[in-house]
Chain A
């Protein structure tokens, strides 16, 4: 059984031809131009993963929204839960890039990280 897919690891977007042993098991991958392509194809068939990037609300900081990302990919099927959980977070203290705003997010073994620094809002009391 063969399946074609586009690698999403980098902007090159290699067209992959994946030979399947069964519905959940890859026996061979062709068409990739780097090792990440083969790894992606196996992961995508066995358990597709995505890095979530979104924003969380802030209070008393210089921008209204703080962009955040998961420190690693999470199961694609958990993206809706993750978005719902993100809506319950409010960041009220200044952050640095890479600082965790939620540790072991949803028990998925990844942290939710600030993707930029944010200081206190101008004119707000020092945080």
Chain B
């Protein structure tokens, strides 16, 4: 089995920044594994502007931000990029196994950086009573459908949750001609950036119901309506406040969960509340020589900070290797 100095799992903004920083800190043998056919990760579907104001002093779209890092990564001979490479195993001895088209590969790493990002919380993880019709999508999945596949998921939509993904998808759907009936937020303030409330909702006349929740999703085969109700300080429904919004699509934007099942399988301590690795310091894990960065370490709201902090992971891995790791 081949031994590599550093294996980076994930070719999104975190993995690319970590690999480049490790290279800059003197690591000469880096393998970057990415499951998709392109580098860039989730940025590839985030086609809206707002990225890179800190990092590049320019307002870029997600694909443009990703492309800048992808070009730097491709220009680094010390970094071997392996695409369509899906990591399926990690051991405490830092053996990494991954699937490539037609092959199961295994490599031993002197150091590993996990940059595996997040997955979305789903309808099943928050209590929404009602039926189980078609037409209920996690907002990020709908984003991929619209922006990468060109599929519009419905004609009239309600968005649950006012995080940035929900707000941005409300605008995206409205631009594509979908009637976005409402954004429903259980808290008394949005969890997204204020600018997104302005440019995503106000620009398109989309109502934002704060302190409201969806009491039920209705519909037999396809979503037909949602029942909405105002909530009190304890998030309990206020009697008599209910109303119904007809729609055929519900987008659920209720948060992200760091994707750390590989670390967990390797025996690393994972905080059951956040699903992030337990660590006394940024980008650490409980396994020596294994680091984690970006959204798989903690959920960020700006990619600029993902890049910045992931560079620290790259330097930490380089320092670990320079310290005589075997």
| B37 and A67 form a contact (CB under 8 A) | no
Q: Does B141 interact with chain A (Cβ within 8 Å)?
A: no
Given known contacts A83-B176, A115-B63, A13 and B47 CB-to-CB distance under 8 angstroms: no
| B67 and A117 form a contact (CB under 8 A) | yes
Q: Of A7, A8, A13, A116, which contacts B66 at CB under 8 A?
A: A116
Q: Of A6, A67, A83, A97, which contacts B147 at CB under 8 A?
A: A67
Given known contacts A67-B47, A116-B44, A116-B64, A6 and B148 CB-to-CB distance under 8 angstroms: no
| B193 and A13 form a contact (CB under 8 A) | yes
| B194 and A69 form a contact (CB under 8 A) | no
| B61 and A65 form a contact (CB under 8 A) | no
| CB neighbours of A93 from chain B (8 A) | none
| CB neighbours of B149 from chain A (8 A) | 64-65
| B195 and A6 form a contact (CB under 8 A) | yes
How far apart sit A34 and B13, CA to CA, in the bound complex (Å)? 28
| A51 and B49 form a contact (CB under 8 A) | yes
| A10 and B148 form a contact (CB under 8 A) | no
Q: Does B50 interact with chain A (Cβ within 8 Å)?
A: yes
| CB neighbours of B59 from chain A (8 A) | 10, 51
Q: Does B197 interact with chain A (Cβ within 8 Å)?
A: yes
Q: How many residues of A contact B (CB 8 A)?
A: 29
Q: Does A30 interact with chain B (Cβ within 8 Å)?
A: no
| B47 and A7 form a contact (CB under 8 A) | no
Given known contacts A10-B195, A79-B175, A116-B44, A53 and B150 CB-to-CB distance under 8 angstroms: no
Q: Of B64, B176, B177, B199, which contacts A97 at CB under 8 A?
A: B64
Instruction: Type the 1/0 row for A41-67, where 1 means its CB is closer than 8 Å to any CB of B.
Output: 000000000111111010000111101
| CB neighbours of B61 from chain A (8 A) | 53, 67, 69, 115
Given known contacts A8-B195, A50-B203, A116-B63, A55 and B147 CB-to-CB distance under 8 angstroms: yes
Nearest chain-A residue to B302 (Cβ)? A11
Q: Does B53 interact with chain A (Cβ within 8 Å)?
A: yes
| A55 and B64 form a contact (CB under 8 A) | no
| A13 and B195 form a contact (CB under 8 A) | yes
| A53 and B66 form a contact (CB under 8 A) | no
| B49 and A53 form a contact (CB under 8 A) | yes
How far apart sit A62 and B148, CA to CA, in the bound complex (Å)? 11
Q: Does B95 interact with chain A (Cβ within 8 Å)?
A: no
Q: How far is the CB of B248 from chain A (nearest CB, A)?
A: 21
Q: Does B104 interact with chain A (Cβ within 8 Å)?
A: no
Q: How far is the CB of B251 from chain A (nearest CB, A)?
A: 18
Q: How far is the CB of A47 from chain B (nearest CB, A)?
A: 14
Instruction: Type the 1/0 row for B55-68, where 1 means its CB is closer than 8 Å to any CB of A.
Output: 00001011110110
7 contacting pairs across A/B (C-beta < 8 A)? A6-B197, A65-B147, A67-B61, A67-B147, A83-B175, A115-B61, A115-B64
Apart from A53-B47, A54-B175, A63-B148, list 14 A-B contacts with CB within 8 A: A10-B195, A11-B50, A13-B198, A51-B49, A53-B61, A55-B150, A64-B150, A65-B148, A65-B150, A69-B47, A69-B49, A115-B47, A115-B63, A116-B40
